[in-house]
Structure 1
Amino acid sequence: MSPVTIPAEAQQAARSVRPTAIEAHMRYLADDKLKGRKPGTEGYELAAQYVEKQFKTLGFKPLGQRGTFRQLVPLRKAQVREDASTLALIQEGKEQLFTYGKNFILSPNFGQPVSDVSAPIVFVGFGVSAPELGYDDYAGIDVRGKVVACFNGAPAIFPSNQRAYTGSAKQEVAASRGAVGMITFSLPTDVQARIESNAPRNRQATYRWTNAQGKAQRTFPQLKVVALLGDSTARSLFGKAAKTFEEARVAANQSKPQAFPMNLVVRAHTETDLNDGLVGENIVGVLPGIDPTLKDEYVVYVSHLDHLGVGRPVKGDSIFNGAHDNASGVAINLEAARLFASLPQKPRRSIVFVAVTGEEMGLLGSDYFASNPTVPKAKIVANLCLDMPFFFHPLLDIVPYGSEHSSMKGAVEAAATFVGVKIAKDPIPEQAVFMRSDHFSFVRQGIPAIYIKSGSTTGDDRDGTKLNLAWRATIYHTPQDDMNQPFDWNAAGRHVQLQFLIGYLTAQANGRPVWNKADFFGTKFGPAATAKID
């Protein structure tokens, strides 16, 4: 394959990037007066108006609903009523009732306010079914009408992206096999997933978007109980099982599929408070393409506009400004939009920019747009996402998440060469970054996507990965993610150049991006998978 060339007019546009404009966008979006940009608040509305104004100034056309820049995202809030919800194990006629928050935590049922189940438990290893990866915990066992129990995570032998995806798809797999509930617990070494570590977060309200029929999406109401158990409580499940907890742990660590009855029954009662009062909004603008045919195809840029709002004070500050997360991504995409608008001749395909809502609630705004786009879904050829790109040091190398899965790798390499950055491997595969931002909503719809973050090289004696991990441990999702951080604005400008050039080259190409042959995500979500469903 011949290397991709960048036309002179695109090179000139890329060189006109303005780091000061990125800073200005961020300073407005992360200002205290926006109070953390939580969906449904005045602060989010101010942020939305700001993005709309930028689109209008640049000459982008409205691509929301009813001739506006807005796409409404209906959301359902669900909160478990802990005082009314119970879980007990029944073994040899004896019932053991557990304590909420100490022994177990329940997930809300988005389909009904009251959910009851009494059923036998079957252990299914990691709860993963991936025959294409040579692994299936469900092989040879019938779980219809039963509650499945499994470890959190996925087999270590899987590549990191596949491991992250299969680890997140357990409920869908269990429901498709006819299970009526799911119980999960962590391996002893997986301290981060333990109930003790996650109880505050897992006991908060959760949200899903609803379709035109009022059904909450990405939910499985047929699972009458979804529970997370503490470590000692999980071990008690194995008292009469064919294997001990330790034997099951060893098999899991060796990535060996396993399944067996646990010879006990779980009885659970879940009460859920449901509320459909919140409506989020995506902000959508388009720069129409000029090719008579290709202008009806779209390259979609996405970055999340929302953050966490106002919360419990930390170091005397209660406003979660979200400067890096993700005023930075919105600001960089806005400057990339300006580069597109500055071209003497617009791209062949149309360029769409979306500032999405509800990312912090679970990628809700991007999933809504990717599932219900304001252009024909089949005409979206590619997605570029930006979320916390990490520009606290010079940008000398990048990790282009997603490039190994599709033909977009060529555009990424050409852009990286022009900008003068090297392409590095993922230094933190355990963080499952490929699953953790809005590009994955497009992957789910079979659309190739790219999500770029900075690499580890800093040009001095600092280690970029250590800086990144330290930031995640001390600043991420705290009020200290504000504008009083040592941002490198030239590095941010290089991110703009990369975003612009990758999208430009994709918009100019004769053919649309394609998934690599036999790629895991292309096979699962791409055109062939869609054809099977239809």
Structure 2
Amino acid sequence: MRDSVVCRVLAAVALAFAAPAAARVADVQTAAPSPAQLPDDQAAMKAHVMFLASDALRGREAGTPEYRIAAEYVASRFFAAGLKPAGDKGGYLQSVPLLRYQPADHGDLVLTAKGGAPMPLVFGRDFVPGAVPGKPQFALDAPVVFVGQGIVAPKYKRNDYAGVDVRGKIVAFLGETPTSFQSEERAHFASPATRTTIAAEHGAVGAILIEPGSVSEAGWDRARMTWAYPDGTGHVAGVPLIATVSGAGASKLFAQARAPWEKIAPRADDPTAIFKAEQLPSVLTVALKTSSEPLESANVAGLLPGTDPTLSREVVVLSAHLDHLGVGPPVNGDSIYNGAEDNAVGIAALIEAAKRFRTSDMPTRRSILFLAVTAEEEGLIGSDYFARHPTMPAAKIVADVNFDMPILSYAFQDMTVFGANRSSLGPIVAQAVAALGVTMSPDPDPAEGFFVRSDHYRFVQQGIPSVFLWPGQAGPGKAAFENFLKHRYHQPSDDLSQPIDWAQGLRFVAANCAITRAIADAPDRPRWNKGDFFGLLYDGPGAK
């Protein structure tokens, strides 16, 4: 730890515990029942959440001193559980270089048609600018090619780039995605990062997202985050997203095109529409300014070695995100977004799972890596960094089981396991949870695309079979889940004032330990189902 970080951490601790005694007592008193009323294992799980979701840690925002305190706490718990350090330089922490960035001004976008006068696009009416992390000045001068929704999906016989050459050019695409696609696959394509990645694969140098109506100036200059390369530039998925352009701006982009905007606009919001790609008549000159701030953060990694002479070289990852939203807009006078269920409970489950495996008289054949990641709330950044820069040989990581926001306010009767139907993990998970008297249920909200929205997905993108588990929505589960989303999700009320049934926390831990053990002891490593969309897309084992 660098001296500056040490000073900030010590200062944060001093400030937290210099708070008025009455305030500290009130914070602790929200955490009824008392330890005497809880069995030791439930009390241990609750104790982790009491610390991690306390006001003193101010919401554990990635890159803050309070997040660093949380990371050091998890490292200490990994040490107490007997895990071997699996971070950088012989320690538990893997340094994750973060970069916070945002547009520094409105930017300049100017269209020039052949033989015509330059035509500036108007900020707020025609466009709002993007930002390029780590590049204070970004300039581009290139033709624009309209590529419909910007999708290439051979499975669905879809290629929006057919008939055009976008090498060295800027692509413009609409944001809709086909409703005919399978829900998780549609969610994959709905991400602008997927479209900009496809653009890069076709040789484009920049991208524009077209919003058929107006563009909102609200939040145009909001701060974003990514991880940084050693040269200080930020990681970007694919090509830079230069701007979001409105219908008014699109009219200018499409001026004199074979298919003018007036013909495209009526179908622009139709997810079933297919458009013919076309190079537009004008050249776009782009000048963007971006302000960037480097930040320090860390993943926390501890390894429990396996016992099999051969299989112990392979690793099953158990992951959970440690960060939350920090301090934000006050709600009912409370501005600290504590993140108790999201995801202090997940981290507590990770720690308690480590303790169970370490003290078991049946060690696993494969090794298990317990991984607490940073900056999930900023876009799955810490898990992306680890998946691309693992602290062990990447080829030896055989699966990821992810804990994220398990709702523990009810006695769950089933478990929802995202990704179970895509690989050989599905039967393993079903058998493991059945042994505990729990059934496995399909995704109750497929339109939400949860499969691509948590840290396991960064392992999927490296071709690694992965699953993400939640207590299910059978019986009282649906009402409890909807109540949490409405009243507590990403709000200051996600704290210890809410009802949490710690006995359900232990059931959740037990289910995940059973799943992990089954994976770790299986004779063969997990494989994608033959022909699976994600397995093929990311060249995973067994998919071809």
8 Å Cα contact 2:535/2:543 also seen in 1: no
Which residue is equivalent to 1:488?
Answer: 501
Which aligned pairs between 1:189-204 and structure 2 lie closer than 5 A? Answer: 195-196=215-216, 199-200=218-219, 203-204=221-222
8 Å Cα contact 2:536/2:543 also seen in 1: no
Query: What code does the residue aligned with 1:284 have?
Result: A
Which residue is equivalent to 2:18?
Answer: none
Which aligned pairs between 1:513-524 and structure 2 lie closer than 5 A? Answer: 513-524=526-537
Distance change >3 Å, CA 143–CA 55, structure 1 → 2: same
CA distance in 1, matches of 2:525, 2:229: 29
The 3-state SS of whatever aligns with 2:51 is helix
Q: CA deviation at 1:20?
A: 3.5
CA distance in 2, matches of 1:136, 1:339: 49
Which residue is equivalent to 2:276?
Answer: 258
Distance change >3 Å, CA 80–CA 55, structure 1 → 2: same
Which aligned pairs between 1:16-415 and structure 2 lie closer than 5 A? Answer: 18-83=41-106, 85-90=107-112, 93=116, 95-101=118-124, 103-110=126-133, 112-168=135-191, 169-186=194-211, 195-196=215-216, 199-200=218-219, 203-212=221-230, 214-220=232-238, 223=240, 226-234=242-250, 237-238=253-254, 240-241=256-257, 242=259, 244=261, 247=264, 250=267, 252-256=270-274, 258-276=276-294, 278-415=295-432
Query: What code does the residue aligned with 1:86 have?
Result: D
Which residue is equivalent to 2:25?
Answer: none
The TM-score, its normalising length taken from structure 2, stands at 0.85
Distance change >3 Å, CA 337–CA 245, structure 1 → 2: farther
Distance change >3 Å, CA 56–CA 132, structure 1 → 2: same
Query: What code does the residue aligned with 1:125 have?
Result: G
The TM-score, its normalising length taken from structure 1, stands at 0.86
Q: CA deviation at 1:321?
A: 0.8
8 Å Cα contact 1:403/1:412 also seen in 2: yes
Which residue is equivalent to 2:22?
Answer: none
8 Å Cα contact 2:125/2:248 also seen in 1: no
Match of 1:512 among 525, 531, 534: 525
1:500 has 2:513 as partner: yes
Distance change >3 Å, CA 505–CA 128, structure 1 → 2: same
CA distance in 2, matches of 1:372, 1:309: 26
Q: CA deviation at 1:494?
A: 2.3
Query: What code does the residue aligned with 1:32 have?
Result: D
Query: What code does the residue aligned with 2:531 have?
Result: A
CA distance in 2, matches of 1:79, 1:235: 27
Distance change >3 Å, CA 420–CA 243, structure 1 → 2: farther
8 Å Cα contact 1:447/1:526 also seen in 2: no
1:431 has 2:448 as partner: yes
Query: What code does the residue aligned with 1:296 have?
Result: R
The 3-state SS of whatever aligns with 2:63 is coil
Distance change >3 Å, CA 113–CA 187, structure 1 → 2: same
CA distance in 1, matches of 2:466, 2:420: 8
8 Å Cα contact 2:172/2:208 also seen in 1: yes
Which residue is equivalent to 2:8?
Answer: none
Measured against aligned partners, the alpha-carbon deviations of 1:78-113 in whole angstroms (never above 9, x if no partner) come to 221124x12244568355544434542222113632
The 3-state SS of whatever aligns with 2:68 is helix
Q: RMSD of the alignment, in Å? A: 2.7
Measured against aligned partners, the alpha-carbon deviations of 1:295-333 in whole angstroms (never above 9, x if no partner) come to 111111111111122223222111111112111111111
8 Å Cα contact 2:528/2:541 also seen in 1: no
List, as ranges, runs of 4+ consecutive aligned residues in structure 1 with deviation greater than 6 Å: 528-531
Distance change >3 Å, CA 111–CA 505, structure 1 → 2: same
The 3-state SS of whatever aligns with 2:89 is coil
Question: Greater relative contact order (Cα 8 A, min sep 6): structure 1 or 2?
Answer: 1
The 3-state SS of whatever aligns with 1:36 is coil
The 3-state SS of whatever aligns with 2:435 is helix
Distance change >3 Å, CA 410–CA 398, structure 1 → 2: same
| Gapped regions of structure 1 (runs ≥ 5) | 1-15, 189-193
CA distance in 2, matches of 1:122, 1:399: 42
CA distance in 2, matches of 1:236, 1:470: 45
The 3-state SS of whatever aligns with 2:58 is helix
8 Å Cα contact 1:101/1:199 also seen in 2: no
Q: CA deviation at 1:71?
A: 0.8
Q: Percent identity at matched positions? A: 39
Which residue is equivalent to 1:11?
Answer: none
Measured against aligned partners, the alpha-carbon deviations of 1:129-165 in whole angstroms (never above 9, x if no partner) come to 1123311100111222332211114222111121122
Which aligned pairs between 1:468-483 and structure 2 lie closer than 5 A? Answer: 468-469=481-482, 471-483=484-496
Count of aligned positions: 501
Measured against aligned partners, the alpha-carbon deviations of 1:310-365 in whole angstroms (never above 9, x if no partner) come to 22322211111111211111111112222212211211111110111111222111
Distance change >3 Å, CA 346–CA 312, structure 1 → 2: same
8 Å Cα contact 1:366/1:441 also seen in 2: yes
Measured against aligned partners, the alpha-carbon deviations of 1:453-484 in whole angstroms (never above 9, x if no partner) come to 2332234xxx71x6535533443222222111
8 Å Cα contact 2:414/2:474 also seen in 1: yes
Distance change >3 Å, CA 78–CA 219, structure 1 → 2: farther
| Gapped regions of structure 2 (runs ≥ 5) | 1-38
Q: Which moved more, 1:371-380 or 1:205-214?
A: 205-214
